[in-house]
Amino acid sequence: MHRKFSIFLVKPSHYDADGYVIQWYRSSIPSNSLASVYGLIAECAAAKTLGPDVDIEIDACDECNTIVDIKRIIRTIRAAGGGFVGLVGVQSNQFPRALDLARRFRAADIPVVIGGFHVSGCLSMLPELPADLKEAQALGVSFFAGEAEGRMATLLKDIDSGQLKPIYNYLSAMPDMEAATLPILPVEIVGRIAGTYASFDAGRGCPFQCSFCTIINVQGRKSRYRTADDVEGIVRANAAQGVSRFFVTDDNFARNKNWEAILDRLIELKEVHGFKIRLLLQVDTLCHRITGFIEKAARAGCGTVFIGLENINPESLAGTKKRQNKIWEYREMLQAWRRQGVVTYAGYILGFPTDTPESIARDIEIIKNELPIDVLEFFCLTPLPGSEDHQKLQAKGVPMDPDMNKYDLEHVCTGHAKMSKEQWQQCYRDAWKRYYTLEHVETIMRRARASRIHLPKVGNALMYFSGSIGIEDVHPLQVGVVRRKVRTHRRSGMTLENPLIFYPRRGAELAKSGIQWLRLALRYRAIRKRIARDPASYDYTDEALQPVTAEHPDHFVDHYADKIPKTHGAPAQRAPAAPAVAVEA
């Protein structure tokens, strides 16, 4: 008999401090986890995995841009007579929200499977299930640990036959990425991302050993890559539905051993076949050493690059085993991207063991003066479940915040040898203020003009980063366009607010943030216009734009001269160290 099997995939968001789900009319970054799992289930649907008479129907949403209609999902699965809810790519900070959603579905007896880094990281690194996973298990939720490529059919068959197991653990066997199923999402879902970006991972796994990182313990230390043919397949499948912008989610695309074949193929698709490809890449701080990498990336359509700078203090980098970051090459690397007109975003982590409020303030001023970075984003060093840091603290019984919702890299979750929790949290807030002063925003725009980088592009990126913290009070990686709050979607344990209080306050909040965004946009536009009108702006220069030569050595390095390890290629120490730069109060 012909029947349906109905699958709903939800990528959960997480809660703000008031217990409301952080979601928007349009979110800013696509979820690659959702695209990967969707692609795998679409493949099973096409292959009629559950038999020729069973139609597998899939619906998917990213909660960052869509309100999850719990009742409709329950109705649809019941009407189909079979199916399940997959909570996809659930990070630690999203686990409390995932659990609240699961609770509702399990109360209606709908099967629920949770996958993603929290489940995989905990199963990989902890001796026993932590309390939140046990709570989910008690509700009858199943876990999927490890990667699902080549394993989805087994799961679907188990659910369909009522044999769903409590845990699917594939962490010991990483699937090959060559010719692996392609990540894809229908255009209606991609269209809910501002700028209509799709995503794909061209590789997984990493050989390095940064102690704060979960990736190595979940995806392994052996790198696996997609081929140029696969990437062409992803581009063509998206182009067929009018999508041509991609966020390549590899933690470091420069480490992908197929980078050149992939970029060459993208260049061919662009230049010979007329595909209008735009790429957003993530790379490390050594990518400029690879001959032709930056030039080819730009030709293939890369207009923006995320760089894992992490920190500029060599002591901090060594302490966390990030020895591959060579600070004496940062300026050269950033200048190489600028020469290709690419906008640079750099991530900076606060709270390494040697950090103090004074050293953080000093380091940010050094960056502003000496490194030509466009957008800088800050994170608190966090013992993420699945990382070596978390495992060690747990084993030693060091207190860590029990609320997983806070593991979003914006909250301080454990102690620090030199700062109180409050000081550290304040450092995080101050770091944004310190970097995004109007004065420094103008400097960045002047540098962009001098480097012939598209001024509005840099201006808009700066506005979006400073506004997400200053106006929306969320990290730019989580921000979107126009915040949504659903009164009834509040964290479990928190009381629902009276509609007469909730709705007028929401109206006032929306009006306030609208006005604040408008004011910020006008301020940045005034700066941009001032620079555009200034004929001398093309000749602007400063320390950060100076090339590093024998005559003009990079005295950025001098600030840390006594801390640079004596490794191959490191500059000879030029003690005594230069006096510290002035730090604004």
- Which residues in this chain contact ligand SF4 in the complex, by CB under 6 A? 206, 208-210, 213, 215-216, 251, 308
Residue 314 binds which one of ligand SF4, ligand B12, none, with CB within 5 to 8 A depending on kind?
A: none
Judged by CB under 6 A, the residue of 96, 121, 308, 314 near ligand B12 is: 121
Residue 210 binds which one of ligand SF4, ligand B12, none, with CB within 5 to 8 A depending on kind?
A: ligand SF4
Interface with ligand B12: number of residues (CB under 6 A)? 41
Question: Do 307 and 346 touch, CB atoms closer than 8 A?
Answer: yes
Stretch that binds ligand B12, among 108-116, 236-244, 430-438, 464-472 (CB under 6 A): 108-116
Angle, nearest 10°, between helix axes 455-470 and 438-450? Answer: 160
The CB-of-65 to ligand B12 minimum distance in angstroms stands at 11
Nearer Cβ to ligand B12 (31/451): 31
Which helix (H) or strand (E) is 423 found in, with range? Answer: helix 421-435
The CB-of-256 to ligand SF4 minimum distance in angstroms stands at 12
Distance CA 413, CA 399 (A): 9
Backbone conformation region of residue 277, classed left if phi is above 0, alpha if psi is from -120 to 50, else beta? beta
Residue 29 binds which one of ligand SF4, ligand B12, none, with CB within 5 to 8 A depending on kind?
A: ligand B12
Binding flag, residue 117, ligand B12 (CB under 6 A): yes
Binding flag, residue 37, ligand B12 (CB under 6 A): yes
Question: Do 60 and 518 touch, CB atoms closer than 8 A?
Answer: no
Strand, helix or coil at 428? Answer: helix
In the block, tokens 């197991």 appear at 165
Binding flag, residue 32, ligand B12 (CB under 6 A): yes
Question: Do 305 and 320 touch, CB atoms closer than 8 A?
Answer: no
Q: Which residues of 235-263 are buried (b: 16+ CB within 10 A; e: fewer)?
A: bebbbebebbbbbbbbbbbbbbebbeebb
Distance CA 584, CA 496 (A): 43
> Contacts with ligand B12 in 125-144 (CB under 6 A)?
144
Stretch that binds ligand B12, among 28-36, 74-82, 229-237, 524-532 (CB under 6 A): 28-36
Residue 391 binds which one of ligand B12, ligand SF4, none, with CB within 5 to 8 A depending on kind?
A: none
Please list the residues that pair with 87 across neighbouring strands: 10, 114
> Contacts with ligand B12 in 360-399 (CB under 6 A)?
379, 384-386
Q: How crowded is residue 306: how many other Cβ atoms within 10 Å of its Cβ?
A: 22
Distance CA 247, CA 548 (A): 31
The CB-of-387 to ligand SF4 minimum distance in angstroms stands at 9
Residue 219 binds which one of ligand SF4, ligand B12, none, with CB within 5 to 8 A depending on kind?
A: ligand B12
The token pair at 212 is: 């704060």
The CB-of-282 to ligand B12 minimum distance in angstroms stands at 7
Residue 144 binds which one of ligand B12, ligand SF4, none, with CB within 5 to 8 A depending on kind?
A: ligand B12
Nearer Cβ to ligand B12 (56/544): 56
Distance CA 202, CA 51 (A): 32
Binding flag, residue 93, ligand B12 (CB under 6 A): yes
Judged by CB under 6 A, the residue of 19, 82, 89, 467 near ligand B12 is: 89
The CB-of-232 to ligand B12 minimum distance in angstroms stands at 19
Residue 216 binds which one of ligand SF4, ligand B12, none, with CB within 5 to 8 A depending on kind?
A: ligand SF4
Binding flag, residue 215, ligand B12 (CB under 6 A): yes
Question: Do 217 and 121 touch, CB atoms closer than 8 A?
Answer: yes
Nearer Cβ to ligand SF4 (160/251): 251
Distance CA 311, CA 324 (A): 12
Cis peptide before 576 (omega within 30 of 0): yes
> Contacts with ligand B12 in 454-483 (CB under 6 A)?
477-478
Q: Which residues of 447-477 are buried (b: 16+ CB within 10 A; e: fewer)?
A: bbbbbebebeebbbbbbbbbbbbebbebbbb
Judged by CB under 6 A, the residue of 23, 65, 66, 120 near ligand B12 is: 120
Nearer Cβ to ligand B12 (335/468): 468
Please list the residues that pair with 169 across neighbouring strands: 145
Judged by CB under 6 A, the residue of 160, 329, 408, 472 near ligand B12 is: 408
The CB-of-216 to ligand SF4 minimum distance in angstroms stands at 5
In the block, tokens 């969707």 appear at 38
The CB-of-192 to ligand B12 minimum distance in angstroms stands at 14
The CB-of-25 to ligand B12 minimum distance in angstroms stands at 15
Task: Provide the CA 306 distance to its chain's centre, in angstroms.
Answer: 10
Judged by CB under 6 A, the residue of 74, 148, 269, 279 near ligand B12 is: 148
Q: For 249-404, where are the E strands, in sequence order?
A: 278-283, 302-310, 343-350, 375-380
Residues that bind ligand B12 (CB under 6 A): 13, 29, 31-33, 36-37, 64, 86, 88-89, 91-93, 113, 115-118, 120-121, 144, 147-149, 155, 201, 213-215, 219, 249, 251, 379, 384-386, 408-409, 477-478
